[in-house]
Amino acid sequence: MATTKIWKIKSRFDNVIDYITNKDKTDNKKYVTGINCMADIAFKEMSITKQQFNKTGGILGFHAYQSFKGCEVTADEAHEIGIRLAEELWGDRFQVVVTTHTNTKNVHNHFVINSVSFIDGKKYYDNKTNYAIMRKVSDNICKEYELQTLEEKSYYKNSSNKYARSSKYLDSVRTDIDYAISQASNYNDFTKILTKMGYELEHSSNKMSIRKPPYKRYVRVERTFGEEYSKESILFRIKHTVSFKVPFPEVHTLMGRYKRKNKTAIRHKQKAKGLRALYLHYCYLLKVFPKQKYSPKYSKTMKEEIKKMDNYSNSAKFLTKYNITTLTEVKKYKSSAINKIVELKGLRENLWKKHKRIKTNEEGQFICSEIQKLSTKIHELNTNIKLCDFIENRTVRIKEDINEKSQRNKLRCMDKNVR
């Protein structure tokens, strides 16, 4: 049985992180994991995210826990469950530190979530609906580990209406996904239909998340609806589903489009009417589809050849930019670039140390911008070093080809003289 709770952090964010990562509580930090951040410098990285989006005030973050009954789970299992819960709820947009405390009779997980998203700078809001979803996801994971779950009344109290609306939304999403599968001819077609139906899609680790405005939270399809909605299962269903294909399937979505008017969500039907419907119908009959973009599909071999062409093009630009004409100059540049990277990394490390002692937000923002500039230079030098390696290898191959061709020509000349 797992119980959960979450509350706001309004001050001393670093103290909360220090508390949950305490080595005496986490078996010498064995059970400490960072999601979208490094656990050792999580406070620093979360602070940088806040400064980048100029959101350093207000709610600094959230502290949550997940506690298990008695000895029903080991510390390893509890930590694994905690990581899965954090990745499902916050992993697509927020930085999270997950720890498992083993210093009490009941093994329990702690979570510290940054209040500002590293993706878009938007803040996370804890409300009854999100808490109900948190409990639901926690229960689903616990069931997979054959753990007991709480009765619904004990934790959906005062939030059942909002959760019911959320469940209705999930049912509609699943219906639209089923419809898109029935109308698609391949996976790319499936995603395009969902996009035209007004959904926003994200793919991470070969898994799809989906959202439809005005809802803010992405739904992880496989986690929410089961293995039947994994990418492999969707591909299988697309291949083996036989159904009547309709023109412009995106206009048949059940969810409709939302527009804001006087802070009220008004649903508008997407189905075309009147002259537009007639126009679309004749476009379908004549197989003329307006504003349809052609996306070329390349084979694996073709993709490799395109990559080679890009390397050739980038190499030519690099040689021209730095006026390099010999292989010796390429090696000299590579050596100097490696030394320069070591120097820049040292400067960046010194700036990180200064960042620990900042006194004002302006000073912190300046240091962060300088760190970003150094990181950009390091990235550029690393790219150039890879180009140097490509040029060296290519030069060696060209010399070998020339020598081989020269040997063949000599052999031919010898054969002619003998005859």
Q: Which helix H or strand E contains 228, and what residues bound it?
A: none
Which range among 3-17, 205-219, 237-251, 331-345 shows the weakest confidence by mean pLDDT?
237-251
Q: How far apart are CA 99 and CA 34, in angstroms?
A: 9
Which SS3 state, helix, strand or coil, does residue 346 take? helix
pLDDT at 255: 44
Q: How far apart are CA 124 and CA 61, in angstroms?
A: 8
Establish how many alpha carbons lie within 13 A of residue 2's alpha carbon, considering only the half-sphere containing its beta carbon: 30
Cβ neighbours for 150, distance < 8 A, ≥ 6 positions apart: 1, 2, 3, 135, 139
Cβ neighbours for 186, distance < 8 A, ≥ 6 positions apart: 238
Q: 109 has which bridge partners? A: 66, 100
Which SS3 state, helix, strand or coil, does residue 118 take? coil
- Which domains are present in the chain? 2-158 (3.30.930.30), 163-286 (no CATH), 300-418 (no CATH)
Q: How far apart are CA 67 and CA 180, in angstroms?
A: 40
Q: How confident is the model at residue 332 (pLDDT cuts 50, 70, 90)?
A: very high
Q: How far apart are CA 258 and CA 273, in angstroms?
A: 18
User: In the block, which residue shows the tokens 């309709």?
Assistant: 246
Task: Read off the pLDDT of residues 395-413 as tens digits, 9 standing for 90 and up.
Answer: 888 888 888 888 888 888 8
Radius of gyration of the chain (CA): 29
Establish how many alpha carbons lie within 13 A of residue 386's alpha carbon, considering only the half-sphere containing its beta carbon: 10
pLDDT at 113: 93
Q: How far apart are CA 409 and CA 379, in angstroms?
A: 45
Query: Residue 332 corresponds to which amino acid?
Result: K
pLDDT at 258: 42
Residues 125-129 have a mean pLDDT of 76
Task: Read off the pLDDT of residues 292-316 as tens digits, 9 standing for 90 and up.
Answer: 455 566 677 887 888 888 888 999 9
Express as a percent the part of the chain with pLDDT over 90: 11
Q: How far apart are CA 72 and CA 146, in angstroms?
A: 10
* Distance set, CA 78 to CA 89, 141, 226 (Å): 16, 11, 22
195 has pLDDT over 70: yes
Task: Read off the pLDDT of residues 235-257 as tens digits, 9 standing for 90 and up.
Answer: 877 776 655 566 666 555 544 44
Neighbours of 130 (CB within 10 A): 18
Provide the token pair at 411: 């052999």
Written as one string, the DSSP assignment of 376-388 is HHHHHHHHHHHHH
The 8 Å CB, 24+ separation contacts for 264-270 are 265/214, 270/197, 270/198
Provide the token pair at 17: 């992180």
Q: How far apart are CA 299 and CA 285, in angstroms?
A: 31
The pTM of the whole model exceeds 0.95: no
Which is more confident, 339 or 280? 339
Task: Read off the pLDDT of residues 277-297 as tens digits, 9 standing for 90 and up.
Answer: 777 777 777 766 555 455 566
* Length of the chain counted residue by residue: 419
